[in-house]
Structure 1
Amino acid sequence: MNKSNTHLFIWLTIGISLAVHAAALIISNTILESYVWPLPEAHSSIEMFGSAIALFLAVLLIVFEKSGRGTSHNIEIACAMIAMGTLDGFHAIVEVGQQFVWLHSLATLAGGLLFSSFLLTKGGLSNNFSAPWITLAASIMVGVLSLIFAPLIPSMVREGEFTMTALMLNLVGGIGFFIAAFKLIKTNQKTNNINDLLFSMHCLLFGAAAIMFEQSALWDLAWWGWHLLRLMAYLVAVTFLILEGLVILKDLKNYHSNLEEKVLDRTLELENANQNLNSALTELTATQDQLIQREKMASLGELVAGVAHEINTPIGIGVTSTSFLEQNVQRISQAYKANELSSEELESFIDTTEQTCELLTSNLQRAALLVSSFKLVAVEPSDVKIRKFKVKEYLDGIIFSINDSVKDHSYSVILECDPGLVIVSKPCTLSKIVRNLILNSVHHAFGFNHKADDADISSIDTIKKGLIKISINCIDDEVHLIYQDNGIGLTDEQKQKIFNPFYTTSRNRGRVGLGAHIIYNQVLQGLRGSIEVSSDLNQGTRFDIRFHVNGCKDC
């Protein structure tokens, strides 16, 4: 609202209040001087309506104070509204008499004083959220005491005329309202906050009603006139609600627009991720062909089926979730454009979107982990370099790193190898073999309660004491590695399928079934060696690995 409109609004409100004031007084003292309208039911309805609006506004102002909205003096105005709303509520339910006028006068006095309370200190009651509760308790106490100790109430009406006590209570309250109105107008000129201006007019109308009180008699036209001014004041407050609602609606529209953009961006990211996964799937298919052609361990169709089954599940969930997101966005967008979008639907949409994004992330991570694990199946000639290294020293480091990664492990590894044994081979390939053998025992042989995937050992917990024994010797440039554990062993069927890709007995616990297959490929393709497995149920498992090296010697 610009400066000219501000002045127009102020003068229009002042003009209307003066017109109502003057018209009611003139007509009440001339044409309708002897007329009264004793309508207690209508009066109670008006007062209860005003009381409800006042209390609702108080709650709204407290909420706005927490979010930095509303007026420049939310807490002071909320306290005033609570006092007026509570005492006017008591005023509405009592019969006409001393209590009737007493409670109304107290409501006017409390409202005027509390409205102007922000003049007492520099900071007023800002962020003092205990003040409204104290005001509510005090107002209820005053109202109840007024009902209980009615005979002690000062005389407020005598022979149909208001007493000086009643007039002074309303006069002081009215002056407080005028002071608050002036202060809020000055504040509006600094902050340009339209809510300050609206409540300044609210105070102005209440102040006029309080001053008009002393010029009226019970139930006459002037008496109803100042009730009209109070009703107009509450209508100004309702205007505040409408304007704040429009601001919130605008913010909600902007938030919805930003949210829609974020969802569309996330959808594009997911589509790109799906494209990358499809590219990875193509790469994996080529790798599968090479593996099957080299080793002839399974048909191409069987391997492709395994890969498709493992990869397509998270990809399928990703595609389904993306479609679900798009449908939800369209539905919310249509509801919004049709002005049918409720806050509950928006909150539900936000919650559903967050859950769907979490589902997408977990499945895409799962697919990425599958891709990473499957890449280990392929062994390229240039994958690792051939060099001379000390076997025991090298494997001691590998075993130490695995033990350090497995939390609370209850197994031990015994390495039997000549400390001086030096071979010329591929240390990285040997590391992968030993690492996967140990993890295979940790995951399967010892009955661990594990949650990690084959390539992740950061969250493994053990429940059984396990023993792993590794012995290595080299004769005539041929290394013989014997690996054995005291785990649960294998059945005949498991021994036949152990090296098949994607074969696992722990799929329900997140296992992929590539660990033993990686060992097999690393031995046969990486080291050009052989591997045999022997095992009996509950008697542990043994792997015999043999491979040639370019030279071995004892230092």
Structure 2
Amino acid sequence: MTETDIDVSGSKILIVDDKKENLELLTEILEVQGYDIAFAQDGLKALEVASLFLPDLILLDVMMPGIDGFETCKRMKLITSIRDIPIIFVTARTDISDVVAGFKIGAIDYVTKPIRHEEIIARVATHIKLRRLFTIRDELINQLREKNIELENLAKAKDKKLEESEKLSHIGELVGELTHELCTPLGIINTAVSTVIEKNKELESDVVAQKLSKSALENYLYVSRESFDISLSNVRYANQLVSSFKEIVVGEFSEIKTKFELKHFLEDIFFLMMPKIKRSPHSIEINCPRNIILNAQGGALSQVIINLINNSLNHAFNDEVKGAITINVSIKLENVIIKVSDNGKGINTEDEGKIFDKYFSTRMGEGGSGLGLFITQKLIEQKLNGEIRYETNKPQGACFYIYLPYEKL
């Protein structure tokens, strides 16, 4: 939109002049242009009329009895409802110091007497159009701000859904791993119990037939003890699996901070991921001092650690290569630093600046969503009040540093 597109007819103008003939002249010139005119003959009356009439423009005489035009202008700029109305000084003074003084106190233009018709018409129309343009601009800016807020909220909601989807996806993977791993101890327990049942039947048969020998009884007791020990060992293993799963997964759905011992926490994650690791040629090592107590959202941290381990398992190593993933924990000043590194291929230099971008993946088209590291960074920054940095691991591989706030409890 340009000035020529704006219709100024109907705009309101306040004329302030102590001379009746000047008021009549300006009114006559401007009414023909379709303006709505109000007038005042002194500064105090001008303040009153301006507050009620709320004009689009004020033509203000400088030389008036009582408070002059300069003082009237100053006072207008102190009244919130009229402070932004453009003011054009109408003056017989042509001294540059007077012109500068008028601009300094808030006038936008000046017109010299005697009044020239074409000049006053042009200046009035120009400043009213400019004010309309500024108003339209401000409205558009406000609309843009509102639209930006709306889009930001939509983006946040979308990111939240993506986070929840990614969380459910990796929980589903853990459930699959747990189910698969539980089959082994449950199968062993079933075999041990079945063996004892068979031995019981044999023993009962020998007792009924009165053929029970000392060696048969000793064999039964030996098999029973072995079966019991094997069953108990596998029950404990299954219980540890379920307990670790509960610790990690229940925390995923809680945003409440809890206190936990970091080494035990990392060991639970390692134990829960062990089935997946065992099916790969790779290894994980955890080096964490004991008695580091964190007060944080455990669910967010577990998702971060699992994401980084999966990132190494899925991206770092070529087929058949025996890779090593290491988690080292240290304390520096007011931070716990969790370093997750591997000795794999590393990340190309040109990709390093993009690894935390949404949808960026070095394996796009091969099943990678490009959300793992993006969500990892968001969880660290928004849920854990921390920071994550990437460095190339020397002599090879990738290295992520997680900085979390730490206060010794």
Q: TM-score, normalised by structure 2?
A: 0.39
Structure (1 or 2) with the greater helix fraction: 1
